[in-house]
Amino acid sequence: MSEAIILHGGSVVHATTTEVADVLVVDGRISEVGASLRVPPGVRHVDARGCWVGPGFVDLHAHLREPGNEAAETIASGARAAAVGGYSAIVAMPNTEPALDNPVLVRYVLDQGSLAVVDVAVAGAITKNRAGEHLAPLGEMAALGVRLFTDDGNGVQDAAVMRRALTYARPLGVRLAQHCEEASLTLGGVMNEGVVSSRLGLSGRPALAEELMVLRDIELVRLTGCPVHFLHLSTPRAIALVLEARSQGLPVTCEVAPHHFTLDETACETFDPTFKVHPPLRNVSDVAGVRAAMRRGDVDAVATDHAPHAHETKDLAFDEAPAGMLGLEHAASLTLEALGAGDTNPLLFFQLLSRGPAAIAQLRASDERPRHTAHGGDVQAGEDANLVVFDPAATRVVNRHHLAGRSINTPYHGRTIQGETRALVVAGTLVVENGELQ
Amino acid sequence: MITSIKGENLLTLADVSRNAILEVLDTAEAFVEVNQRSIKKVPTLKGRVVASLFFEESTRTRLSFETAAKRLSADVLSLAVASSSVKKGESLRDTITTIDALGIDAVVLRHQSSGAPMQVSRIVPHVRVINAGDGQNQHPTQGLLDVFSVRQVLAERANTTGVESGASLFEGLNVLIVGDIRHSRVARSDIAAYAALGATVRVAAPGTLLPTDLEGWPVEVVTNLDEALAGADVVGVLRLQKERGTGHLVPSLDEFTRFYGLTQERVKLLRPTAIITHPGPMNRGVEIDSLVADMPAAIIERQVSNGVPIRMAVLYLTIAGSSNQGAISV
């Protein structure tokens, strides 16, 4: 915490403007932002010229697999993957074994997270064992700083249970996050329902399953007033429903995942289980529609749905393999690609990757956040120093055997992507320097 | 588009050309004669090793493939799934690499998961993979033996031979496939084979047993089954796959039979020359009436018999096709 760092000559991305400036970090905080700052002796120097300097990215959706499946990922290894990806904070999903549905396990993850290279927040389960039946102790978990609750992996299927959860959660000042898939419509399904699934003889998961649950939950928000965040929306229709509800003043937000705006269902034609994910990769026009929504600013956040699986558990027949793919290390580059690569507006880029998700997770300076520094803020003196130096011009080829996390199930192996984390400062400490984890 | 399966895998008929199909059919014609000899064996694949891996229960396809391999003098490694390490939790990858380590030229694979043969072909690229039915995806040799059997019957009637007729007998042929299209790998292979040979293919099924999206399929969906039957030259009846949960997609088996079963009443609508096929095993009294199944128009036994020469042709072409063995030594 005591070290001083200067991020020199980058394009500093504020909420509404950018400026070429130096950023001086001292004792965990931004001490000064300005052109040609005088550098005190002993300061670590980061060359940020040609790079964007903005608030560290915040991931709302990281499956860290600990406790229960440490062969696939741990809190420590997931945090390293996040750091490489430019994230200063991640939200650990509760679908561990056992599920994070009680304060003891939440405290365990927070404690392990405090030793990790990035800030680790926790999403608690809405229901006990994520079974969708009995409410988990939302109040006790909220008292530990949990601000987001979800049964992710499962949607809460029973409308009465979801209504009860929202009614109970509303006074707690938290947000419920929903994995939107109506299970009766996705039963047995392994990929998007449509022309490709019909041809391949694979059972489908229809877009309708997602859109129906979005519709239902919007009406439950209208009824209860409790905020809901819609996880990994994969169809333009689902996003449009959220947009319409927001325009009516309802407290709803949504995220999209990189694989849903970079890959389509035809990836399943090789029956490679790497491409199996829930909600599934949709059709080409869905992908284009999600991208268009991102560019219009209709989406609140990009979230990775980083879902590591040990190779031996993922490398099965397509219908037998578990769903999910890696995301943390490449999400920012894929977001850049979706926003137009070299033409990308850095304000929108940081809105989607940092400021939007930080607001949803309540990780900003203005939020009550026990045990966390502030993320997604402005780059100005006095703010906690969670900063990323992102080079939007660098290109690299994804190699699944050179990843910081424990698993290799990236769907981007061999793909050339643009944009790279040059440096990352987490709570005033230089975690990534020259593109390498320290 | 695969223009010949010589030296190639046979994973699907969806991307196989007319000439590639005709090559298999014509090769099979030569093997029909072998199967009529008193000593039904040729040395064509002597010294070659064919692994037969059936991860899903099957009697007729397995017997048919293994008979075909043995009649070509290949050595057959047969993995009995029930007693294998698969039950001990071994992955498909490890099972395949283990069998491969024994030294094999081809693997005949039946698997309950769509796409498993394609996955296996990536694990052992030096081994020829022959799909013996994968999930709800494809059953290429069934599609081939179906068109082979139909061509044989039509050629006999026209006093010609299958080889001489080529694909000409399929021009203008009206094929109607009835039943559970949605879950049927046989339907997917049959449709591809008939369409590639130039036939017109129609399908008839309750909405719940049709694939959700037929865009790009070379088929027309029939709304009036009785009218379609009256115009059909070939009626392919599909097995109602109760074991795949088809039961709850129709109100009852009785209702399915009433509207889509090939009953004795409905068979009266057929042309006298119409041919009835069924891939077996039959649910007598459900998709096909028991007496209809035993009519001369139903060529079900011929389909079973033809399974052997077709699979001999497929094994021969895929395994020996890559080397310079020249003509078939029969």
| Ranges for all domains in chain A classified under CATH 3.20.20.140 | 56-361
Does B135 contact A194 at a Cβ distance shorter than 8 Å? Answer: no
Q: Are B190 and B148 in contact (CB under 8 A)?
A: no
Pairwise CA distance, residues A177 & A15, whole Å: 25
Residues of A in contact with B112 (CB under 8 A): 317
* Predicted local distance difference test score (pLDDT) of residue B84: 58
Distance CA B209, CA B237 (A): 13
B133 lies in the same domain as B37: yes
Nearest to A200 among B137, B183, B216 (CB): B137
Q: Which of A188, A194, A270 sits opposite B213 (nearest CB)?
A: A194
Confidence at residue B87, expressed as pLDDT on a 0 to 100 scale: 62
In terms of domains, do B289 and B166 share one? yes
Q: Do A315 and B213 touch (CB under 8 A)?
A: no
The CATH number of the domain where B123 resides is what? 3.40.50.1370
Residues of B in contact with A271 (CB under 8 A): 114-116, 118-119
Yes or no, beta carbons of A271 and B115 under 8 Å apart: yes
Is A318 within 8 Å of chain B by CB? yes
The reply to whether omega before A98 is within 30° of 0 (cis) is: yes
Rounded-to-integer distance, Cα A129 and Cα A127, Å: 6
Size of interface A-B (CB pairs under 8 A): 69
Helix or strand holding residue B301 (H, E): helix B300-315
For A233-366, strand residue ranges (E) read 252-256, 301-302
Give me the pLDDT at residue B324, please: 46
Give the residue among B184, B83, B86, B180 at the shortest CA–CA distance from B133. Answer: B184
Euclidean distance between CA atoms A246 and A23, whole angstroms: 36
In angstroms, the separation between the Cα of residue B114 and the nearest Cα of chain A is 6
Q: Are residues B29 and B178 in the same domain?
A: no
Q: What per-residue confidence (pLDDT) applies to A412? A: 98
Q: 3-state class of A4 per DSSP?
A: strand
pLDDT tens-digit profile, chain A (438 residues): 558 999 999 999 999 999 999 999 999 999 999 999 988 888 999 999 999 999 999 999 999 999 999 999 999 999 999 999 999 999 999 999 999 999 999 999 999 999 999 999 999 999 999 999 999 999 999 999 999 999 999 999 999 999 999 999 999 999 999 999 999 999 999 999 999 999 999 999 999 999 999 999 999 999 999 999 999 999 999 999 999 999 999 999 999 999 999 999 999 999 999 999 999 999 999 999 999 999 999 999 999 999 999 999 999 999 999 999 999 999 999 999 999 988 889 999 999 999 999 999 999 988 876 678 999 999 999 999 999 999 999 999 999 999 999 999 999 999 999 999 999 999 999 999 999 999
Nearby residues of B80 by Cβ (< 8 Å), 6 or more positions away: none
Q: What local confidence, expressed as pLDDT, does residue B327 receive? A: 47
Say if the Cβ atoms of B14 and A199 lie within 8 Å. Answer: yes
* Residue ranges making up the domain that contains B185: 140-303
Taking only residues 176 to 215 of chain A, the set having a beta carbon closer than 8 angstroms to any beta carbon of chain B reads 188, 193-195, 197-204, 206
Residue B325 lies in a domain: no
Do B123 and B170 lie in a common domain? no
Q: Are A65 and A96 in contact (CB under 8 A)?
A: yes
CA distance B239 to B279: 7
Q: Which residues of B touch A195 (CB under 8 A)?
A: 213, 215-216
Q: For chain B, which residues lie within 8 Å of any Cβ of chain A, measuring from their own Cβ?
A: 14, 91-93, 111-116, 118-119, 134-138, 183, 185, 188, 211-217, 245
B153 and B299 co-located in one domain: yes
Residue A409: which of A277, A233, A231 has the closest Cα? A277
Tell me the chain B residues in contact with residue A198 when contact means C-beta distances shorter than 8 Å: 211-214, 217
**Alpha carbon of A337: minimum distance to chain B alpha carbons (Å):** 30
Question: Following DSSP, what letter does each residue of A169-211 receive, concatenated?
Answer: HGGGT-EEEE----HHHHTT--EESSHHHHHHT--EE-HHHHH
- For residue A317, the chain B residue with the least C-alpha distance is B116
Select from A26, A52, A50, A22 the least CA-distant residue to A348.
A52
Q: In this structure, is residue B2 part of a structural domain?
A: no
CB A297 within 8 A of CB A348: yes
Query: Looking at the annotation, which residues of A are catalytic?
Result: 305
Say if residue B130 is in the same domain as residue B231.
Answer: no
- For chain B, the residue count is 330
The pTM for the full model equals: 0.94
Contact at CB, B92 and A317, closer than 8 angstroms: yes
Please judge whether B136 and A202 are an interchain contact, meaning their C-beta atoms are less than 8 angstroms apart: yes
Cα separation, B137 vs A201, in Å, equals 4
Q: Give how far the C-alpha of residue A38 lies from the chain's centroid of Cα atoms, to the nearest Å.
A: 36
Residue A115 C-alpha from the chain's centroid = 20
Residue in A336, A352, A302 with CA at minimum distance from that of residue A419: A336
pLDDT at B326: 44
pLDDT string in tens for chain B (330-residue length): 999 999 999 999 999 999 999 999 999 999 999 999 999 999 999 999 999 999 988 888 999 999 999 999 999 999 867 555 566 667 889 999 999 999 999 999 999 999 999 999 999 999 999 999 999 999 999 999 999 999 999 999 999 999 999 999 999 999 999 999 999 999 999 999 999 999 999 999 999 999 999 999 999 999 999 999 999 999 999 999 876 666 688 999 999 999 999 999 999 999 999 999 999 999 999 999 999 999 999 999 999 999 999 999 999 999 987 654 444 544
Chain A residues with CB under 8 Å of B123 CB are none
Interchain pair B114, A318: CB under 8 A: yes
Determine the pLDDT at residue B88: 64
CATH fold of A56-361 reads TIM Barrel (3.20.20)
Give contacts of A318 with chain B, Cβ < 8 Å: 113-116, 119
Q: How far is A106 from A112, CA to CA, in rounded Å?
A: 10
β pairing state of A416-426 and A387-397: antiparallel
Residue B250 lies in a domain: yes
Q: At which residue do the structure tokens 């965990």 appear?
A: A28
B133 → chain A, closest CA residue = A201
Measured between beta carbons, which residues in chain A are less than 8 angstroms from residue B216?
A: 195, 199
3-state secondary structure of A57: strand
Helix (H) or strand (E) holding A213: helix A207-224
Are B113 and A197 inside 8 Å of each other by CB?
Answer: no
Q: How long, in residues, is chain A? A: 438
B127 shares a domain with B23 = yes
In a domain, B4, yes or no: no
One domain, residues B177 and B57: no
CA–CA dist B178, B69 (Å, integer): 32
Question: For residue A11, what are the β-bridge partners?
Answer: A20, A52
Rounded to 10°, the helix B18-35/B300-315 angle is: 110
A188 vs chain B: nearest CA distance in angstroms?
11
ipTM of the shown complex? 0.92
**Are B66 and B204 in a shared domain?**
no
- Distance between CA B238 and CA B278 in Å, rounded? 6
Residue identified by tokens 């929202």 is A166
Q: Which of B258, B255, B249, B262 minimizes the C-alpha distance to B177?
A: B262
The partner residue sitting opposite A201, judged by closest CB among B91, B114, B213, is B114
Q: Which of these, B210, B211, B180, lies nearest to B287 by C-alpha position?
A: B180
CA B81 to chain centre: 22
Q: Is B211 in Cβ contact with A198 (below 8 Å)?
A: yes
Phi, psi angle pair for A289, to nearest 5°: -65, -40
Could you give the number of structural domains in chain B?
2
Classify residue B87: in a domain, yes or no: yes
pLDDT of residue B86: 61
Which residues make up the CATH 2.30.40.10 domain(s) of chain A?
4-52+380-437
B140: distance to nearest CA of chain A, Å? 13
Q: Same domain for B54 and B181? A: no
- Determine whether the interchain pair A312/B91 forms a contact, defined as Cβ–Cβ distance below 8 Å: yes
- CA-CA distance, A231 to B49, in Å (whole number)? 51
Torsion of CA B268, B269, B272, B277, to 10 degrees: -90
- Give dist(CA A56, CA A54) in Å, integer: 6
CATH class of A4-52+380-437: mainly beta
CA dihedral A188, A194, A197, A200 (to 10 degrees): 150
SS (H, E, C) A29-50: EEEEEECCCCCCCCCEEEECCC
Taking contacts as CB-CB distances below 8 angstroms, the residues of chain A near B217 are: 198-199
pLDDT given for residue B59 in this prediction: 84
CA of A414 vs chain B CAs: smallest distance (Å) = 17
